Amino acid sequence: MAKKKTRFICQECGYESPKWMGKCPGCHQWNTLVEEFLPSDDDRRRFVTSSDSKGSRPESIQNVEKEIEPRINTRIQELNRVLGGGIVPGSLVLVGGDPGIGKSTLLLQTSSKLAEAGHKVLYISGEESVKQTKIRADRLDINAEKLYVLAETDLEYINKAIEDVSPDLVIIDSIQTVYRSEVTSAPGSVSQVRESTSQLMRVAKTKGIAIFIVGHVTKEGSIAGPRLLEHMVDAVLYFEGERHHTFRILRGVKNRFGSTNEIGVFEMKEKGLDEVLNPSEIFLEERSQGAAGSTVVASLEGTRTVLVEIQALISPTSFGNPRRMATGIDQNRVSLLMAVLEKRVGLLLQNQDAYLNVAGGVRVDEPAIDLAIAISIASSFRDQVTRPTDIMIGEIGLTGEVRRVSRIEQRILEAAKLGFERAIIPQKNIGGWEVPKGIKVIGVETVSEALDYALGG
């Protein structure tokens, strides 16, 4: 009998080595290389389906018949938005997020909606028994006839269950618990995750079944296992939010069938997750009136306009080097804007601590928020209050100019809907579009000019 080959694989990044090393050269982590057996050729052939073994011949792209399959409507608008309009049959979607954030709840509610609409759904849990899944379903008022549940971790039995049920959607919760008996390493290891995902991808593509897999998240916030896992799937969705807050954000970081800039907003309640169709009202409802350092900006997340509050606190430092802390925005961008304010406007900020926050736990990273950040910093430094009905939009250059931003009409329209009366925007964005009723638009060319309007009246 031939001796089985082994290799050492890093459980953090997937780096492979023929010998053991204390420190991984890939991710520089200690004691993460684990010995695993390489599957033999016979083991690999055993799991190849008959359709894969037939092979195919190359053909001209002009002769390929175009088939447009309708997407599956999940009956959850926020999920449809992130997926690009619904679930594509035959797609493989990876859902990641912190423990307890609500991944299983979202997918169980999605399964119920689809089952009620007449689709067969197979929910496979490797972390809960069938009775435990039933208890969670009862709490969410889920009792759909076409929703099938299974507690299984062996991939061979999972494949048989998929063949028996022939579902339209399969949910694997989670991929770290699934294993192939031919792979000798433990469930959750790099080899098991990679091989299991590869087999599930074959099932999705050959049978046209949409498959959602749940992935655990590491301490650094990335999905556990090799980066290859994210390259294999068609879409990667991250479920974000603070465990101590009720709002959750579903963000697409990869999507072969739609935009990666879309977000879906949910609120966690006793009966599960509820959609937040107008997140701007939620993010602004607790905004304090008459407080210096607070501004509102209209940020774009894909096709959606979200109004968020940016808060700044500037105070004299008691250290040799002033502190710069930012939550929800890029800290390096904050340092750059403070340098522009000091050089072009004359604000002495080099001996001031700066703390900035985006209220509501959302993260914004587009250049159009620069003007709101700069005005928040100046408002807190001067202890001057901005008008609560003002909104600031614009990108700031290093010379202090305010540059144009994209889709200004959509941003102003959302601000007008929520009762804002004045918008400070780049001068280059003035003209060429119709200003909504009830809001006044002011064009500025420099940061100094914007501060005069925002803080001077």
97 is in an annotated binding site: yes
Among candidate residues 171, 73, 195, the one with its CA nearest the CA of residue 162: 171
DSSP code per residue over 48-60: --HHHHH------
Please state, in angstroms and rounded to a whole number, the distance separating the CA atoms of residues 254 and 251: 9
Question: In degrees, to the nearest 5, what angle opens at C-alpha 254 toward C-alphas 251 and 257?
Answer: 105
b (16+ CB within 10 A) / e for 264-290: bbbbbeeebbeebeebbebbbeeeeee
DSSP letter for 82, please. Answer: H
259 is in an annotated binding site: no
99 is in an annotated binding site: yes
Hey, CA dihedral for 411, 412, 417, 423, is it positive or negative?
positive
Among candidate residues 367, 366, 391, 409, the one with its CA nearest the CA of residue 307: 391
Identify the residue whose tokens are 């049978």.
207
Identify the residue whose tokens are 């918008």.
423
100 is in an annotated binding site: yes
> Is there a contact between 235 and 213 (Cβ–Cβ < 8 Å)?
no
146 is in an annotated binding site: no
Strands (E), 152-246: 169-173, 210-215, 235-240
Coil/strand/helix, residue 358: strand
Q: What is the separation, in whole angstroms, between the first and last Cα of the chain?
A: 86
Query: Cα dist. 245→139, 269, 299 in Å?
Result: 20, 11, 21
Q: Where are the alpha helices (DSSP H) in 9-154?
A: 41-46, 50-54, 77-83, 103-116, 130-139
Question: In degrees, to the nearest 5, what angle opens at C-alpha 446 toward C-alphas 425 and 309?
Answer: 45
Among candidate residues 413, 424, 431, 429, the one with its CA nearest the CA of residue 455: 424
Please state, in angstroms and rounded to a whole number, the distance separating the CA atoms of residues 365 and 141: 38
What phi, psi does 396 have (nearest 5°)? -115, 130
> Is there a contact between 422 and 412 (Cβ–Cβ < 8 Å)?
no
98 is in an annotated binding site: yes
> Is there a contact between 203 and 172 (Cβ–Cβ < 8 Å)?
no
Which residues does the annotation place in the binding site?
Answer: 97-104
Q: Which residues are annotated as a binding site for ATP?
A: 97-104
